[in-house]
Amino acid sequence: MTDTFNSDFKVHELITALKDVEFHRERAKSKSLKKLECDNSKHNQLNISRQIDFDIPVSAQKLVSNPISILEEWDFNLDESVDILLSITNIQTTVKAHLNFEENSMTVVNVKSVVDSKIFLMSSFVEEFVSKYWKKTLTEDFAILNKWIKA
């Protein structure tokens, strides 16, 4: 999957905000959050552990239940790109995303994502997760990011 987002802010402003734990607390407010823990003790890395309630399709409710545990590992690279590994242990699924920034009159953020599920029976749930959670989250988070930097 590929998504593109635009921002009026410079690349360094966007990356600085993405590294800020307070930004991640702000973006968590829009989620059905049960728990949020952040660890930024490693240089150029941020680990976020969260538990959320998710609309689980009826077909998957026998296999998985709320809350869903999600671990986000953010790696901020020297070339001003960002790698995100999203692990959803309840459904043995990962989302790997790579954010690449292009700065001209505005900054374009290209996001390439790959979903990998180890449970064949969960494929329809994973597709729903990707469409309802990941894409929605990306869109919401970039809107929150632009507002947060502006404030």
Q: What is the mean pLDDT of residues 71-90?
A: 93
Q: Is there a contact between 65 and 34 (Cβ–Cβ < 8 Å)?
A: no
What are the contacts of 39-48 at 24+ separation with CB within 8 A?
44/75, 44/76, 44/77, 45/73, 45/74, 45/75, 45/76, 46/19, 46/21, 46/72, 46/73, 46/74, 46/76, 47/71, 47/72, 47/73, 47/74, 48/24, 48/72, 48/74
In the chain, where the domains are located? 2-150
Q: What CATH class is the domain 2-150? A: alpha beta
Q: Is the pLDDT of residue 142 over 80?
A: yes
Distance CA 14, CA 1 (A): 22
* pLDDT at residue 134, as a whole number: 82
Please, which pLDDT band fits residue 28 given cuts at 50, 70 and 90?
A: confident
**pTM, rounded to two decimals:** 0.86
- Report the interhelical angle of 135-150 vs 11-19 (nearest 10°): 110
